[in-house]
């Protein structure tokens, strides 16, 4: 049986890493679009830096996962924070030079960071027992609560720290986070998986794993939960700016959104153990739908706060539920391939969402962002219902046998 003392130590390290390195993500979301709007001649391209970051995250997911499968989580995470530091420095230089193209290059490096960072949740499960796994995943994601407080606060205080260079201070703070706190990752104790190297011909191929309903539904629900959250969150700072709200107000809304993303993580693992993954995923999808309804009702400040907080909570239940379902459904020898493919799909749809967000907002307004959500929610709900029915039928067959 897996020794959960080691798992708990790894979780503690990953919580610190999630808090400190994760603080750059709300800053990149808040200031990526604002910096893009400041530098781009065509304002419809304002969210392109965020989209480029997500695109790179998608393309790097499989290579990074396979790299970690061979050389270990720690090596992959160190690559991630090195890229994050480079992205921060290049972003600040882009703003100083007024070079939109350089901001896009910075976004490529930030995407490499984001791709590596996405595997923190799977790393938490690597050394955990079946009983501890839901808590391990949710506790690591709970570290994002600290990131939600730290990131926007750093951004709000430092974005104008460089004279005549708006937002550059935030990008320098991103670089500093990655450089100063890098030694934390050296404390991880996650062995390289031996099964990937030794299983040989007996190893289950990716397609065989994807044919299993829990794997397919977990990937689908993870994709929808993350993409719809990104769709609305990416557009929010620009929508609020268009409604006359200050940058600091938009930053505060995003701060509370990110708090809502991660604060439920302290209990999400226990809820999954009590009620099961599928019920928690269903609640997450319902909260995402409700957030869109609230946002459609009005563009007053309370609506932005409530909608974005519901959006964050919906992401938490949907994404953690999907992650736990996937982690439980794959074999050790499948992990690097299936997890890499999962994040490729998740961030692929996230990329489409972030690309679409700026265009929908610029061409059709804030309401169009919410009206794009229902088809994806319906698709995820259908997959979830299909899996529930299949599980019920399997249980009946087992009871009758």
Q: How far is CA 332 from CA 71, 127, 304, in A?
A: 15, 11, 42
Integer Cα distance of 234 and 360 in angstroms: 11
Domain containing residue 297: 4-187+206-400
Residue 161 CA neighbour count, 13 Å, CB half: 13
| Rounded (5°) CA angle 31-116-216 | 105
Per-residue DSSP letter, 332? G
Confidence of residue 390 (pLDDT cuts 50, 70, 90): confident
Q: Is 184 exposed, middle or buried (0-12, 13-18, 19+ CB in 10 A)?
A: middle
Q: Determine the angle formed by the axes of helices 335-364 and 48-71, rounding to 10 degrees.
A: 180
Integer Cα distance of 389 and 284 in angstroms: 19
Task: Quick: pLDDT tens for 284-313.
Answer: 999 999 999 999 999 899 999 999 999 999
- Can you give the CATH number for the domain in which 249 is found? 1.20.1250.20
What does the pLDDT average to over 25-29? Answer: 86
Cα first-last separation, the chain? 30
- 280 occurs within a structural domain: yes
Say if residue 199's pLDDT is above 70. no
Yes or no: say if 103 and 179 are a contact pair by the CB < 8 Å rule. no
Integer Cα distance of 292 and 281 in angstroms: 17
What does the pLDDT average to over 10-25? Answer: 92
Element (DSSP H or E) covering residue 217: helix 213-242
Say if residue 351's pLDDT is above 60. yes
Instruction: Tell me the torsion sign for CA atoms 91, 316, 334, 193.
Output: positive
What is the pLDDT, as a whole number, of residue 202?
44
Task: Quick: pLDDT tens for 61-99.
Answer: 999 999 998 899 999 999 999 999 999 999 999 999 999
Task: Quick: pLDDT tens for 108-139.
Answer: 999 999 999 989 988 988 888 888 988 899 89
Integer Cα distance of 372 and 249 in angstroms: 25
What is the pLDDT, as a whole number, of residue 290?
97
- 53 occurs within a structural domain: yes
What does the pLDDT average to over 192-201? Answer: 51
Which of 14-28, 333-347, 351-365 has the least mean pLDDT?
Answer: 351-365
Please tell me which residue, 397 or 201, carries the higher pLDDT value.
Answer: 397
Is 159 in a helix, a strand, or coil?
Answer: coil
Confidence of residue 319 (pLDDT cuts 50, 70, 90): very high
Yes or no: say if 119 and 73 are a contact pair by the CB < 8 Å rule. yes
Yes or no: say if 121 and 64 are a contact pair by the CB < 8 Å rule. no
Q: How far is CA 260 from CA 71, 148, 305, in A?
A: 34, 9, 10
- 23 occurs within a structural domain: yes
Confidence of residue 3 (pLDDT cuts 50, 70, 90): low
Give percent above pLDDT 90 in the chain: 49
What is the pLDDT, as a whole number, of residue 317?
96
- 194 occurs within a structural domain: no
Torsion angle of the four alpha carbons 348, 26, 235, 54, in this order, in degrees rounded to the nearest 10: -20
Contacts of 251 (CB under 8 A, 6+ apart): 30, 152, 155, 156, 237
Query: Radius of gyration (Cα) for the chain, nearest Å?
Result: 20
Instruction: State how many domains the chain has.
Output: 1
Integer Cα distance of 379 and 224 in angstroms: 9
Task: Quick: pLDDT tens for 224-268.
Answer: 999 999 999 888 888 888 888 887 788 789 878 978 988 898 899
CA nearest 145: which of 54, 231, 249, 268? 268
Cα 361 to chain centroid distance, Å, stands at 22
What is the pLDDT, as a whole number, of residue 102?
94
- 199 occurs within a structural domain: no
What does the pLDDT average to over 21-26? Answer: 89
Q: For the chain, give the mean pLDDT.
A: 87
What does the pLDDT average to over 39-47? Answer: 79
CA nearest 23: which of 124, 113, 152, 112? 152
Say if residue 28's pLDDT is above 50. yes
């Amino acid at each position: 049986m897996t020794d959960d003392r080691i798992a708990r130590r790894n979780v503690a390290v990953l919580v610190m890493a999630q808090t400190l390195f994760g603080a750059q993500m709300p800053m990149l979301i808040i200031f990526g679009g604002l910096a893009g709007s400041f530098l781009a001649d065509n304002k419809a391209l304002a969210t392109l830096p965020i989209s480029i970051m997500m695109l790179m995250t998608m393309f790097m997911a499989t290579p990074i996962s396979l790299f970690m499968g061979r050389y270990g989580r720690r090596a992959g995470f160190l690559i991630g924070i090195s890229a994050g530091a480079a992205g921060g420095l290049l972003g600040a230089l882009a703003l100083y030079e007024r070079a939109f193209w350089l901001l896009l290059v910075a976004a490529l490096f930030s995407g490499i960071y984001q791709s590596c960072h996405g595997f923190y949740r799977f790393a938490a499960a690597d050394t955990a027992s079946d009983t501890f796994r839901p808590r391990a995943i949710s506790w690591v994601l709970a570290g994002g609560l600290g990131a939600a407080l730290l990131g926007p606060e750093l951004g709000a205080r430092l974005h104008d720290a460089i004279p005549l260079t708006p937002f550059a201070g935030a990008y320098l703070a991103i670089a500093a986070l990655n450089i100063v706190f890098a030694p934390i990752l050296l404390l991880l104790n996650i062995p390289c998986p031996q099964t990937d190297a030794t299983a040989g011909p007996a190893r289950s191929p990716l397609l065989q794993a994807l044919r299993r309903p829990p794997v397919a539904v977990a990937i689908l629900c993870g994709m929808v939960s993350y993409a719809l959250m990104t769709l609305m969150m990416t557009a929010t700072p620009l929508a609020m700016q268009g409604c006359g709200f200050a940058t600091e107000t938009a930053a505060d809304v995003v701060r509370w959104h990110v708090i809502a993303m991660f604060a439920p993580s302290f209990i999400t693992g226990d809820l999954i153990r009590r009620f099961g993954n599928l019920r928690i995923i269903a609640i997450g999808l319902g909260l995402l739908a409700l957030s869109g309804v609230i946002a459609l009702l009005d563009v007053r400040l309370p609506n932005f706060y409530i909608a974005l907080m519901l959006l964050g909570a919906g992401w938490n239940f949907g994404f953690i539920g999907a992650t736990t379902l996937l982690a439980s459904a794959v074999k050790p020898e499948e992990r690097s391939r299936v997890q890499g493919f999962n994040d490729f799909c998740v961030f692929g749809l996230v990329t489409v969402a972030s690309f679409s967000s700026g265009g929908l907002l610029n061409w059709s307004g804030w309401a169009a962002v919410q009206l794009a959500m229902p088809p994806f929610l319906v698709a995820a709900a259908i997959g979830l219902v299909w899996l529930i029915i299949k599980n019920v039928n399997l249980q009946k067959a087992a009871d009758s046998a």
